[in-house]
Amino acid sequence: MAFAERLAEEERLREEEAAALAAAEAAKQEAEAKAAALRKQREDERAAAAEAARLQMQREEEAERHREERKAAERAAARNPVATRVANGDASAVWRRPSSGNPTPSVPSRAPAATPPRSESPAPGKYRAGGGGTTWREREARKNAAGVAVAASPRPASPIVPPKPVREELPKDDDGFQPVTEKKVWKPKRLQQAR
């Protein structure tokens, strides 16, 4: 009986080892599957980031190309004014008002628009509206002529102001210092009582 028990015990141990090996193998496969899924997720994220970067780069290149085209068009327009393009027959350079059956376009008048009247200041001012009808050269010539006339006329003499009286000299001691009369300075009562 001992032999049968030993065989049963060995069989049981082999089954436990096989189950432990199977469980270890299953855990290993599960860990590998998780690692593979994580790796695939990271690869997908990298691919999505690379695609987003590629699209961003493409948009930036298109924007740069459009900017260059605009600059080139501005430079060409600066070199080739509208009048020249119209003379050369470039129809896109001319803006035309849609005609209403009138083949000759009307010429806009250059009449000044009416401005509303200004309110007058209550005090007479130094400045007049419209500049007084003179140019700056005329005003400058008048000012210079007036300046010469003013310089030629004698200026009235200023009244004579008597010089300030010199302060009375206080008597000096022999050493050159002036004695100071007693000053009226506030002192605490305890010091006044000490006198």
pLDDT at 12: 93
| Tens digit of each residue's pLDDT (9 = 90 or more) over 133-168 | 678 999 899 999 987 655 555 555 566 766 665 556
- Residues 72/66, Cβ–Cβ less than 8 Å: no
- The closest of 113, 117, 96, 118 to 105, measured between CA atoms, is 96
Phi, psi for 97 (deg, rounded to 5): -75, 140
- Residues 68/61, Cβ–Cβ less than 8 Å: no
pLDDT at 65: 96
pLDDT bracket for residue 32 (50, 70, 90)? very high
| Tens digit of each residue's pLDDT (9 = 90 or more) over 39-48 | 999 999 999 9
pLDDT at 186: 84
Percent of the chain with pLDDT strictly greater than 90: 36
C-alpha to C-alpha distance for 155 and 111, rounded to whole angstroms: 53
pLDDT at 20: 95
| Tens digit of each residue's pLDDT (9 = 90 or more) over 85-127 | 666 666 555 566 666 655 555 555 565 566 666 666 556 566 6
Q: Select the more confidently predicted residue: 188 or 172.
A: 188
| pTM to 2 decimal places | 0.31
C-alpha to C-alpha distance for 86 and 93, rounded to whole angstroms: 6
C-alpha to C-alpha distance for 32 and 36, rounded to whole angstroms: 6
> How many residues appear in the chain?
195
pLDDT at 191: 78
